[in-house]
Chains A and B, each alone.
Chain A
């Protein structure tokens, strides 16, 4: 797991000593120089010869950037390392925004052309989030769960549930059913928002004798409600054996809450590491469609 944390993920930014940043940056700088060299009395615009040139370059760059997806799926070692390609993809993507901005001459409106530009910005912004995710989250993941993998954490949770069941078996049927219900209603992960916000949706169906009146489904985030009830039972008296069992059950439940939290953070960070791609990919294809419409329509009404 340690290999996920440091140098490997940073390497695509600094790969080859920023070698792959040089060419796109030089190109962007050349385009910016061309833009600034335009006569000041002329409104910069996508329709001037410079605008058309910049637009053609930006469109070609978008197609090359989209090609990275194909390249990634049909990986062949001979064509160059994946890191090198990713490094080129990142820097080329950043420069595309610069060139597209110069192409449009910073003229915006409520039209398909500005939508294309906005989509490009969103694609690049989501890509930047991806870069951030790959640089930041692996280290955070290690901090959250140490060197223990998710499968091990899940196994540990199962073990703790097993221990809790075994301990609950010797308790009264009410408590036993409550512990079983808590285990059944323990929630790890869930919907996209629950995963990304690391929310604990665990609940408990609480009825008599632990709750007066009607039974209700109550929140049991971090197993807090169960711990409260067990602690109340422990304080309520009973045999030494029963108290001992409740003590152990409390310890097990506390341990479970810790593991559960680790799992939730793990799911959250893994989710965040993927979520940018769930934006990046659809937005990229949307951009491709908008780009096609943009090019077609500017020549339709010339």
Chain B
């Protein structure tokens, strides 16, 4: 669009006639306003910075208000208007007239602005402060407050309290929901709960009840017997006291000792008949570890071996009656022990090997750990012959079979006494007579009993086992009894311990003086003072160790938490 703009200018003092000065503009649209970058600049209070534009639409002229104001076209206020030749647009006191619309899109406009004849007062025409430029802190404050209330509160609140809206608000992207209120993500283990806050938060402004937890965790065990009166001590306790959700931490469990110590610092005041000692912390007040020793207990006139707690006072005198003779001193001799392959140096882990979880030691087995050196040979002439382990009748049977065969086959090498030797005039093909058979059997039996006695009472079995003999019985499998081995497997059943986690320490760090221990009854389990060398509470340079590092709260076999009285009480309260 080409525009010839004729501007009335300050008249020459010599002439009285109005003088116009024209400029030729080329622009897609003619801009009008107060701003200095407008083609037509008009200083007037009613004219905004970017007030209007004039452009050609399909050969016709059109004026359009670009700001909030209007344009007065031929005396009428309009937002847009088509312009014909002779149309007069008024901006404040300035008038812009369409004089001609020539061919080839050339427009002639005449501007008559009385203010242009004088200079302006610069102070009034410009925005000299931020306030004048339209910045208004009050406006922005309201905008921010209302915006935050809508986004942060109204929309999520509507979803939280109006159940028909809940699903829609939560599911619609960009619509603020109560997810905005989430103080932290759900723990990984609770992801299955999903995004519905109300699964756990059943009532507004009320804390999550235990019933919400046991809906899923119905098998979780109680700390005390769930149906005992002790369970009432837990009335008012919440799962959430210890299990902290939305807490941005790796574990759901609050490991601080506060919750445990709240009762265990003075347990007698809550449960006068308790045999547990008070504990405040690990480094000072934790009592010495109470051994649990496999001991014979009379039950229904019968001796049953059960783990029995050894009071701390008698711990020093405690002995493990395992029916096994074993010397750590001999086996850990630095010079080595005799073995079929010569002297062999042994270490703890030759016999004590951790289970797959690394927590406990696997049981010691004769076949795996001992038989490499302790072979059960009984016949020097036949080194390959061994008696089976762990079964006296089977041992006798094996011996009888061996000597019967030896009788029949002297090539085995054993010297059969001539009196007992079979006479075989016809060679080996001859069938034994009845008498010969009886003599052979008698010989094999007497050999078996003699060797068995030797093994059981003098040489092999008795080396490790406690053997009892019943003199009233005839010499045979019933006469001897190998007392069963009673090795304690869980010395501290109420504590958790992982051998794997302590793999950097030598065994002797905790199981002290084992290498000088010649008596299998000596107990080499560590005391609390040994643990305190490395473990402490918040002590500097110690491993921070709280109750739950070693102890479980939910004790196996105590009954589900959901059946406990506190749970029921809480349910009743709701």
- Establish whether residues A40 and B182, one from each chain, have CB atoms under 8 Å apart when the complex forms: no
Distance A267 CA – B207 CA, assembled complex (angstroms): 56
- Establish whether residues A42 and B254, one from each chain, have CB atoms under 8 Å apart when the complex forms: yes
Q: Is A251 in the interface zone, CB < 8 Å from B? A: no
Instruction: Identify the closest chain B residue to A302 (Cβ).
Output: B207
Closest chain-A Cβ to B384's Cβ sits at a distance in Å of: 61
Residues of chain B within 8 A (CB-CB) of A301 are 178, 181, 197, 201, 204
- Establish whether residues A109 and B135, one from each chain, have CB atoms under 8 Å apart when the complex forms: no
- Establish whether residues B546 and A302, one from each chain, have CB atoms under 8 Å apart when the complex forms: no
Which residues of chain A (240-274) have a CB below 8 Å from chain B?
Answer: 267, 270-271, 274
- Establish whether residues B181 and A282, one from each chain, have CB atoms under 8 Å apart when the complex forms: no
Residues of chain A within 8 A (CB-CB) of B153 are 293, 296-297
Residues of chain B within 8 A (CB-CB) of A154 are 122-123
Distance A81 CA – B255 CA, assembled complex (angstroms): 51
Residues of chain B within 8 A (CB-CB) of A184 are 36, 41, 43, 116, 119-120
- Indicate which residue in B41, B133, B152, B207 contacts A191 across the interface (CB closer than 8 Å): B133
Closest chain-B Cβ to A22's Cβ sits at a distance in Å of: 31
- Indicate which residue in A111, A217, A270, A275 contacts B37 across the interface (CB closer than 8 Å): A217
Residues of chain A within 8 A (CB-CB) of B546 are 39, 41
Q: Is A98 in the interface zone, CB < 8 Å from B? A: no
Which residues of chain B (133-188) have a CB below 8 Å from chain A?
Answer: 133-135, 137-138, 140-145, 148-149, 152-153, 156, 160, 178-185
Q: Which of A3-11, A86-94, A197-205, A227-235 lies at the interface with chain B?
A: A197-205
Residues of chain B within 8 A (CB-CB) of A300 are 160, 181, 204-205
Residues of chain B within 8 A (CB-CB) of A297 are 153, 156, 178, 181
Interface 0/1 of B510-551, CB less than 8 Å to A: 000000000000000000000000000010000010100000
Residues of chain A within 8 A (CB-CB) of B184 are 107, 109
Closest chain-B Cβ to A289's Cβ sits at a distance in Å of: 4
Residues of chain A within 8 A (CB-CB) of B247 are 43, 45, 47, 107
Q: Is B418 in the interface zone, CB < 8 Å from A? A: no
Distance A167 CA – B137 CA, assembled complex (angstroms): 45
Q: Which of B19-27, B219-227, B307-315 lies at the interface with chain A?
A: B19-27
Residues of chain B within 8 A (CB-CB) of A277 are 137
Residues of chain B within 8 A (CB-CB) of A275 are 130
Distance A183 CA – B38 CA, assembled complex (angstroms): 15
- Establish whether residues A293 and B25, one from each chain, have CB atoms under 8 Å apart when the complex forms: no
Distance A154 CA – B119 CA, assembled complex (angstroms): 14
- Establish whether residues A214 and B137, one from each chain, have CB atoms under 8 Å apart when the complex forms: no
- Indicate which residue in A43, A202, A288 contacts B145 across the interface (CB closer than 8 Å): A288
Distance A256 CA – B253 CA, assembled complex (angstroms): 74
Q: Is A165 in the interface zone, CB < 8 Å from B? A: yes
Closest chain-B Cβ to A143's Cβ sits at a distance in Å of: 20
- Establish whether residues B122 and A283, one from each chain, have CB atoms under 8 Å apart when the complex forms: no
- Establish whether residues B116 and A186, one from each chain, have CB atoms under 8 Å apart when the complex forms: no
Q: Is A115 in the interface zone, CB < 8 Å from B? A: yes
Distance A202 CA – B12 CA, assembled complex (angstroms): 27
Closest chain-A Cβ to B284's Cβ sits at a distance in Å of: 15
Interface 0/1 of B119-135, CB less than 8 Å to A: 11111001111111111
Q: Is B249 in the interface zone, CB < 8 Å from A? A: yes
Contacts A39-B538, A40-B538 given; does A180 touch B206 at CB 8 Å: no
Instruction: Identify the closest chain B residue to A187 (Cβ).
Output: B36
Interface 0/1 of B1-33, CB less than 8 Å to A: 010010101101100000101011110000000
- Establish whether residues A205 and B141, one from each chain, have CB atoms under 8 Å apart when the complex forms: no
- Establish whether residues B183 and A113, one from each chain, have CB atoms under 8 Å apart when the complex forms: yes
Closest chain-A Cβ to B113's Cβ sits at a distance in Å of: 10
- Establish whether residues A185 and B152, one from each chain, have CB atoms under 8 Å apart when the complex forms: no
Residues of chain B within 8 A (CB-CB) of A285 are 141-142, 144-145
- Indicate which residue in A46, A107, A113, A282 contacts B143 across the interface (CB closer than 8 Å): A282
Residues of chain B within 8 A (CB-CB) of A189 are 126-129, 132-133
- Establish whether residues A173 and B38, one from each chain, have CB atoms under 8 Å apart when the complex forms: no
Instruction: Identify the closest chain A residue to B154 (Cβ).
Output: A293
- Establish whether residues A173 and B19, one from each chain, have CB atoms under 8 Å apart when the complex forms: yes
Q: Which of A70-78, A129-137, A156-164 lies at the interface with chain B?
A: A156-164
Residues of chain B within 8 A (CB-CB) of A183 are 119-120
Q: Is B442 in the interface zone, CB < 8 Å from A? A: no
Which residues of chain A (33-52) have a CB below 8 Å from chain B?
Answer: 39-43, 45-47
- Indicate which residue in A157, A177, A203 contacts B122 across the interface (CB closer than 8 Å): A157
> Which residues of chain B have a CB within 8 Å of any CB of chain A?
2, 5, 7, 9-10, 12-13, 19, 21, 23-26, 35-39, 41, 43, 116, 119-123, 126-135, 137-138, 140-145, 148-149, 152-153, 156, 160, 178-185, 197, 201, 204-208, 244, 247-249, 254-258, 538, 544, 546
4 tightest Cβ-Cβ pairs between the two chains A and B: A207-B23, A286-B144, A282-B140, A215-B23
